[in-house]
Amino acid sequence: MDLTGIDLARIPRHVAAVMDGNGRWATQRGLKRTEGHAAGEHALFDTVDGAIELGLEWFTVYAFSTENWKRPPDEVRYLMGFNKGILERHAEDLNERNVRINFIGRRDWRVPRGVMRRIDWAMDLTQHNTGLTFTIAFNYGGRAEIVDAVKRLIADGVAADKVDEKAIRQRLYCPDLPDPELMVRTSGEFRTSNFLLWELAYSELVFTDVLWPDFRKQHLADAIREYQARERRFGAVSSS
The residue annotated as part of the active site, out of 68, 95, 129, 194, is: 68
Residue ranges in 130-205 assigned as alpha helix (H) = 142-155, 165-169
Query: Does 2 qualify as catalytic in the annotation?
Result: no
Cβ burial, residue 218 (10 Å; 0-12/13-18/19+): middle
Give me the numbers of helices (H) and strands (E) for the chain, helices first please. Answer: 7, 6
How many of the other CB atoms lie within 10 Å of CB of 89? 11
The Cα 164–Cα 203 span in angstroms is 20
Beta bridge partners of 65: 140
Torsion angle defined by CA atoms of residues 223, 225, 231 and 235, in that order, rounded to the nearest 10 degrees:
20
Query: In this structure, which amino acid lies at residue 24?
Result: R
Beta bridge partners of 204: 182
The Cα 172–Cα 65 span in angstroms is 16
Query: Does 176 qualify as catalytic in the annotation?
Result: no
Output 197-203 pairs: Cβ under 8 A, ≥24 positions apart.
Answer: 197/142, 197/143, 197/145, 197/146, 198/142, 198/145, 198/146, 198/168, 198/169, 198/172, 199/16, 199/172, 200/16, 200/142, 202/232, 202/234, 203/16, 203/179
- Which residues are catalytic, by number? 20, 68
